[in-house]
Amino acid sequence: MPIHWLGDTACHDPALVGGKAANLSRLASAFRVPPGFAVSGLRATDAMLASDVIESIRSAYATLAAQAGSTDLRVAVRSSALDEDGASASFAGQHLTLLNVTGIEAILDAVQCCRVSAGTDAALRYRKAQGVATDSIEIAVLVQVLVPADAAAVAFSANPITGARDEVVISANWGLGESIVSGYVTPDTYIVRKSDGSIVTCDTGAKEVMTVMTDTGTQEVAVPEAMRARCALTDAETAEIARLAASLEAAMGYPVDIECALAGGDLYLLQCRPITRLPVA
């Protein structure tokens, strides 16, 4: 079957659903991971989605929407290549992510776009540079309930600049996390002491734009002046994200690079992968 639900044993296998989906699946029982499913067995060179895959996605989306109590459930659709988020190559930013996708036809289109993104010239150049195979590329696609983030963050459980293992480094902005991971914005940057969650430094970024939901997807809009001057995270939220990063490092057994979102006071884990290059402190 091409559908594998987050939290199920089969979905723990990166050879089946890719590192992104597999990591979240393994962590779903202990951390607040948005529910969803992975679509496996896709190839970058396939002309279109097979009819049985289409019907499986239709059924899975209907089930996910019913579980969420929504007839027009908004989801995030993310690529999860089978060799992605490994110890040597993260593929960060190389494959497509589509946010705020609503309705089965739009989701099918998004899955197709994510599949094709694994074979783009940019993705192939990245593969060659990393020494990763460029033929017979297999990819899974992750479909998850969208978190309507008030603020989002990327966090490293070790300092990626200095290599310090006792520090968590957090970048944060208002709205959805796409503005941070795509480099659209100068975010707030925090260095947090891992042992007690205390903030060592906090640099308030310009936060020029933020990613927000629209009726048909997302867009970048200017951040109001008053919000630019404020930190996107409270001290308590910063400490909570640092604790999450430290807990995930302990659970995975290596320093991690995570994406997370805050909505209605709750912190959600959206991605967890190894830090691929960490300097010696």
The arithmetic mean of pLDDT across residues 221-233, rounded, is: 96
Residue recorded with tokens 């279109």? 48
Map 115-130 to HEC letters. Answer: HHHCCCHHHHHHHHHH
Percentage of residues of the chain with pLDDT beyond 70: 89
For residue 266, give the 3-state DSSP assignment: strand
Handedness of CA 256, 261, 266, 271 (dihedral sign): negative
pLDDT at 44: 77
**Element at 263 (helix H, strand E):** strand 256-263
Question: The domain 3-145 is classified under which CATH number: 3.40.50.2300, 3.20.20.80, 3.30.1490.20, 3.40.109.10?
Answer: 3.30.1490.20
pLDDT exceeds cutoff 60 at 180: yes
pLDDT at 277: 84
pLDDT at 99: 96
pLDDT exceeds cutoff 90 at 133: no
Residue 279's pLDDT band, with cuts at 50, 70 and 90, is confident
- Indicate the pTM of the whole model: 0.91
Please state which of the ranges 24-28, 54-58, 274-278 shows the lowest mean pLDDT.
274-278
pLDDT at 161: 95
Residue 246's pLDDT band, with cuts at 50, 70 and 90, is very high
pLDDT at 81: 81
pLDDT at 90: 44
Quickly list DSSP for 174-212. Answer: EBBTHHHHTT-S--EEEEEETTT--EEEEE-----EEEE
Domain boundaries, the chain: 3-145, 151-274
pLDDT at 107: 97
Residue 2's pLDDT band, with cuts at 50, 70 and 90, is very high
Fill in the amino acid letter for 1. Answer: M
Cα→Cα distances 6→13, 51, 60, 131, 248, Å: 11, 23, 12, 30, 17
pLDDT exceeds cutoff 50 at 89: no
Percentage of residues of the chain with pLDDT beyond 90: 77
Record: fold of 151-274 = D-amino Acid Aminotransferase; Chain A, domain 1 (3.30.470)
The arithmetic mean of pLDDT across residues 119-134, rounded, is: 62
The arithmetic mean of pLDDT across residues 206-225, rounded, is: 95
Please state which of the ranges 33-42, 117-126, 195-204, 264-273 shows the lowest mean pLDDT.
117-126
pLDDT higher at 164 or 89: 164
The arithmetic mean of pLDDT across residues 153-170, rounded, is: 97
pLDDT at 45: 77
Token pair in block for residue 47: 């002309």
Q: Alpha carbon 272 to chain centroid distance?
A: 7
pLDDT at 88: 45
